[in-house]
Amino acid sequence: MNDPISLPPARILGIESSCDETAAAVVENGRVQLASIVASQVDLHAKYGGVFPEVASRQHILSIFPVVEQVLYQAHLTLNDVDAIAVTRGPGLAGSLVVGMNMAKGLSLAADLPLVGVNHLEGHIYSAWVSPGDVTHLPPEPKFPLLALLVSGGHTELNLVRGHLDYQRLGGTLDDAVGEAFDKVARLLNLSYPGGPAIQKAAAEGNAEAFNFPRPRLEGSWNFSFSGLKTAVLRVVREFEEKQKPLPVENLAASFQAAVVDTLVGKTIQAARTFEVENILVAGGVSANRALRTAFLAQTEFPVHIPSLSLCTDNAVMIASAGYYRYAKGQRDSLDMDVLPTWPLSQL
């Protein structure tokens, strides 16, 4: 599975509905994006300050068929031109996952196409293999062994990837995922949801050295913890409120973001040295953060692969890409496949 020349050509239709994005995509040979559609629900959930599961699943039901229909139209293909259907099996919200799964099963049955269940986190890893634009200039393939840092609203973990579909989880967050920490700190600063983009925007006008927030190292493990950092921001906010002073939102955002970036980059580089990897891969929604991307790309010790911005947040391109490598390996799932709302990458 490490030799791309030995892999068969195939077009994969991917379907993703693990949280609040209804998405479909067609990817060729695991690397070339032919079409991608994402129906976002961000505006629906903004008033809740986070994803409301029941609202998400109902909106998926309304969006899933037109999204799939539109992506095939965009790719100038029919189901007869597709070799297999890849669908997110988990992890994610159960009600959301079921909508995508049932759509994939229906298409598989109607068109007699193989069905491939994909782990959402695995999809994020394979987003680094795909070019969303000019197919004549594909990005260089990440080299194994590599260290994958997955950072999103629900996950923060380090995985050693020795080859295609070969993962070893080294560590993860002990409390808040980094994206969750961004959302919670954004609420403390009265910024909008989702918190990541809002904090990034505010931080651009602030001084990252204004507050010396802690960098939780957790020496002796590859785990992360962001609860202490979040509490440190809360403490400062309360001090300003008690003194009835204006809150320095930009400086707080910049200082918090700098602490997060330092923590993620420092531990990842340390692990990369320890396990003597060839490359580092950073993926997931938080990999869209400008400061994090800049910090990783600024270091010269390890080549770093970060997906294009359009592939950082949840999308079906990554599911189709991961599905291609599983399809090429021979994976075929039955119509009685069920969703797995809690499905660690380490169990693959």
Give domain limits for the chain.
4-132+310-347, 146-307
Q: What is the pLDDT of residues 212-236, one digit of tens each?
A: 999 988 989 999 999 999 999 999 9
Share of the chain above pLDDT 70, in %: 97
- Asked whether residue 3 carries a pLDDT value surpassing 50, the answer given is no
CA dist., res. 345 & res. 348, Å (int): 6
pLDDT of 172-215, one tens digit each?
999 999 999 999 999 999 999 899 999 999 999 999 999 999 99
pLDDT at 263: 97
Tokens of 148: 């994958």
Is there a common fold for 4-132+310-347 and 146-307? Answer: yes
Please say if the pLDDT value at position 290 is more than 70.
yes
Name the token pair of 315: 């999308």
Give pLDDT, residue 4. 45
pLDDT of residue 134: 63
Higher pLDDT, 301 or 41: 301
- Which of 159, 134, 147, 137 has the alpha carbon at shortest distance from 304? 147
> pLDDT at residue 1 above 90?
no
Query: Looking at residues 133-150, what average pLDDT do you find?
Result: 86
Instruction: Please list, residue by residue across 221-232, b when 16 or more beta carbons sit within 10 angstroms of its beta carbon and e when fewer do.
Output: ebbbbbeebbeb
- Across 43-47, 113-117, 219-223, least confident range: 43-47
pLDDT surpasses 90 at 123: yes
Least confident stretch, 2-11, 37-46, 231-240: 2-11
Cα distance between residue 237 and residue 247, in whole Å: 7
Architecture of the CATH domain 146-307: 2-Layer Sandwich (3.30)
Residue-level pLDDT at 135: 66
Q: Considering the chain, what is the average pLDDT of its residues?
A: 94
SS (H, E, C) the chain: CCCHHHCCCCEEEEEECCCCEEEEEEEECCCEEEEEEEEECHHHHHCCCCCCHHHHHHHHHHHHHHHHHHHHHHHCCCHHHCCEEEEEEECCCHHHHHHHHHHHHHHHHHHCCCEEEEEHHHHHHHHHHCECCCCCCCCCCCCCCEEEEEECCCCEEEEEEEECCEEEEEEEECCCCHHHHHHHHHHHCCCCCCHHHHHHHHHCCCCCCCCCCCCCCCCCCCCECCHHHHHHHHHHHHHHHHCCCCCCHHHHHHHHHHHHHHHHHHHHHHHHHHCCCCEEEEECHHHHCHHHHHHHHHCCCCCEECCCHHHCCCCCHHHHHHHHHHHHHCCCECCCCCCCCCCCHHHC
The more confidently predicted of residues 217 and 11 is: 11
User: Which stretch of 22-31, 132-141, 268-277, 332-341 has the lowest confidence by average pLDDT?
Assistant: 132-141
CATH topology of domain 4-132+310-347: Nucleotidyltransferase; domain 5 (3.30.420)
Q: What is the mean pLDDT of residues 295-302?
A: 97
Residues 145-181: pLDDT tens digits?
999 999 998 899 999 999 999 999 999 999 999 999 9
pLDDT of residue 51: 80
